[in-house]
């Protein structure tokens, strides 16, 4: 599913709104959301110029749009010590010195790492006629945009995708100067006043990530698992211990011990392109004697994920913590009964028994019970298939995030 980020469609005006769009290490294996949002912005007469800190390592991605995305992206991550120091000295110390005094050498190091990239971002945006950048991160990418703002007046906004503790130091500095911010869940939004105090921006919008509900759709009706046939399970997520794939494997072992012919495919790769947690997870699979029943697919394309979803009876992701979960949304959009763990912001997406099933994290037995429940009850499977998709269409379409971003940038007075 290859889509263009910047389009020249006949219905578009000749002078579309232009924004910068900054994503760390793009394209990553979970970055289909960003690609869809940029495409949706293009449909709304918004031209996006892609920036990133660095490209991904080999073996980490397999999207059919990856090469196009890399070709369209300007990478800012090259370390230039002298340029970095000169750039930081161009910014008045009153902007960042109190934050360094409060947070110490780690923040000063990050400022020096980011300063040259900030200069490059500011100059590139000036050349391209871009006056606003949206940053899909609160890590160093947000610090790059903060420094660029103080270099040239470039406005910026940020999105918080998970717990703020995941995004390093300098949060007050990053948020204090943002024109607005979006946060993917109400739970994360509620924590911000205590975390940021007076540095909280005036405009904060709760905006979940989204999926392309038109592309992620079925052409044929969902068919539940039939008696005496294998139960096809599918999961999709980065290979990391916190994603709980090992718990899902244990659930498959329990199901097979109960007499259910359950099989599982897991799409996703570790952060080292297959040289990290992948091997440990495979050893866990072998120890459970599931070599013939569980398959680690590695990094696969979005189209392959869709095909796996359309042939699955049940989707399950056993994360120990999940800020929200695009993988859940994709499964629900495809009408696949979905099992999630009651962690992070997932309860804002899935209501147990209504549009999916919820189990506690780190509980393989509960996972096995939920899978068995859906496999034994075709009426429940059909119900979850229908209600799951209905919810995502109404609340999690990727165009909703694009609409929010365009509206908020226009509020700043950036003309079309």
On the question of pLDDT at 18 being above 50, the answer is yes
Token pair 């490209």 in the structure block, residue = 55
Per-chain mean pLDDT for the chain: 92
Q: What is the DSSP string of 82-141?
A: HHHHHHHHTS-HHHHHHHHHHH-HHHHHHHHHHHHHHHHHHHHHHHHT--EEEES-SSHH
pLDDT tens digits, residue range 107-129? 999 999 999 999 999 999 999 99
Secondary structure tally for the chain: helices H, strands E: 15, 13
Q: Which of 63-77, 154-168, 241-255, 311-325 has the lowest mean pLDDT?
A: 63-77
Spatial distance between the Cα atoms of 299 and 262, rounded to a whole number of angstroms: 23
Measure the CA angle with vertex 328, ends 327 and 330; round to 5°. Answer: 65
Question: Three-state DSSP class for 32?
Answer: helix
Spatial distance between the Cα atoms of 1 and 19, rounded to a whole number of angstroms: 24
Q: Are 103 and 170 in contact (CB under 8 A)?
A: yes
Q: Quote the tokens at residue 11.
A: 């219905």
Q: Quote the tokens at residue 392.
A: 């995502």
Spatial distance between the Cα atoms of 164 and 158, rounded to a whole number of angstroms: 12
Q: Are 21 and 53 in contact (CB under 8 A)?
A: no
Q: Quote the tokens at residue 158.
A: 């940020």
The pLDDT > 70 percentage for the chain reads: 95
pTM: 0.85
pLDDT value at residue 301: 86
Q: Who wins on pLDDT, 62 or 346?
A: 346
pLDDT value at residue 8: 37
pLDDT value at residue 62: 66
pLDDT tens digits, residue range 149-204? 999 999 999 999 999 999 999 999 999 999 999 999 999 999 999 999 999 999 99
Measure the CA angle with vertex 325, ends 323 and 327; round to 5°. Answer: 160
On the question of pLDDT at 13 being above 60, the answer is no
Q: Euclidean distance between the first and final Cα of the chain, in Å?
A: 29
Measure the CA angle with vertex 18, ends 173 and 146; round to 5°. Answer: 10
pLDDT tens digits, residue range 306-316? 999 999 999 99
pLDDT value at residue 58: 74
Q: Are 298 and 269 in contact (CB under 8 A)?
A: yes
Per-residue confidence band for 414, with pLDDT thresholds at 50, 70 and 90: low
pLDDT tens digits, residue range 382-406? 999 999 999 999 999 889 999 999 9
Handedness of CA 123, 173, 210, 403 (dihedral sign): negative
Q: Which of 33-47, 56-70, 89-103, 251-265 has the lowest mean pLDDT?
A: 56-70
Measure the CA angle with vertex 112, ends 106 and 113; round to 5°. Answer: 85
Q: Which of 63-72, 186-195, 248-257 has the lowest mean pLDDT?
A: 63-72
**What's the whole-number mean pLDDT along residues 284-289?**
96
Closest alpha carbon to 97 in 106, 108, 86, 87: 108
On the question of pLDDT at 14 being above 60, the answer is no
Q: Are 319 and 184 in contact (CB under 8 A)?
A: no
The residues facing 235 across adjacent strands are 266
Q: Are 133 and 122 in contact (CB under 8 A)?
A: no
CB atoms within 10 A of CB 268: 24
The pLDDT > 90 percentage for the chain reads: 81
pLDDT tens digits, residue range 205-242? 999 888 899 999 999 999 999 988 899 999 999 999 99
Q: What are the C-alpha distances in Å from 284 to residues 250, 288, 335, 346, 364?
A: 9, 6, 30, 27, 14
Closest alpha carbon to 323 in 237, 245, 404: 237
Measure the CA angle with vertex 251, ends 247 and 255; round to 5°. Answer: 170
**What's the whole-number mean pLDDT along residues 268-294?**
93
pLDDT tens digits, residue range 42-61? 999 999 999 999 988 776 66
Q: What are the C-alpha distances in Å from 145 to residues 82, 110, 348?
A: 19, 13, 30
pLDDT value at residue 61: 66
pLDDT value at residue 82: 86
């Amino acid at each position: 599913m290859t889509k263009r980020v910047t389009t020249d469609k006949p219905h578009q005006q000749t002078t579309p709104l232009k924004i910068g769009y900054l994503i760390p290490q793009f394209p990553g294996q979970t970055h289909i959301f960003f690609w869809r949002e940029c495409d949706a912005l293009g449909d709304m007469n918004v031209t996006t110029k892609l920036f990133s800190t660095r490209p991904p390592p080999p073996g980490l991605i397999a999207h059919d749009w990856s090469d196009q995305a890399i070709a369209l992206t300007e990478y800012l991550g090259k370390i230039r010590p002298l340029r970095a120091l000169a750039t930081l000295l161009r910014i008045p110390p009153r902007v960042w010195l109190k934050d360094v005094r409060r947070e110490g050498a780690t923040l000063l190091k990050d400022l020096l790492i980011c300063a040259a990239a900030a200069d490059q971002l500011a100059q590139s945006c000036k050349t391209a006629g871009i006056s606003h950048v949206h940053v899909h991160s609160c890590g160093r990418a947000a610090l790059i945009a903060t420094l660029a703002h103080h270099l040239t007046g470039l406005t910026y906004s940020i999105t918080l995708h998970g717990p703020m503790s995941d995004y390093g130091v300098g949060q007050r500095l990053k948020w204090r100067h943002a024109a607005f911010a979006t946060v993917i869940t109400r739970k994360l939004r509620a924590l911000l006043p205590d975390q940021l105090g007076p540095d909280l921006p005036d405009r904060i919008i709760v905006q979940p990530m989204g999926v392309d509900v038109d592309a992620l759709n079925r052409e044929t009706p969902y068919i539940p698992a039939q008696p005496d046939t294998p139960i096809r399970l599918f999961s999709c997520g980065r290979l990391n211990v916190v994603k709980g794939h090992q718990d899902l494997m244990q659930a498959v072992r329990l199901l097979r011990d109960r007499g259910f012919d359950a099989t599982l495919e897991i799409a996703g790769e570790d952060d080292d392109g297959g040289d990290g947690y992948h091997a440990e997870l495979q050893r866990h699979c072998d120890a459970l004697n599931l070599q013939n029943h569980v398959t680690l697919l590695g990094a696969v394309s979005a189209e392959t994920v869709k095909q796996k979803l359309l042939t699955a009876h049940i989707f399950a992701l056993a994360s120990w913590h999940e800020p929200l979960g695009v993988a859940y949304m994709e499964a629900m959009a495809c009408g696949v009964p979905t099992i999630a763990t009651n962690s992070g912001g997932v309860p804002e997406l899935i209501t147990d028994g209504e549009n999916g099933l919820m189990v506690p994290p780190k509980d393989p037995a509960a996972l096995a019970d939920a899978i068995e429940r859906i496999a034994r009850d075709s009426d429940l499977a059909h119900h979850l298939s229908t209600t799951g998709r209905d919810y995502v269409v109404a609340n999690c379409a990727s165009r909703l995030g694009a609409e929010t971003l365009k509206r908020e940038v226009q509020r700043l007075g950036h003309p079309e």
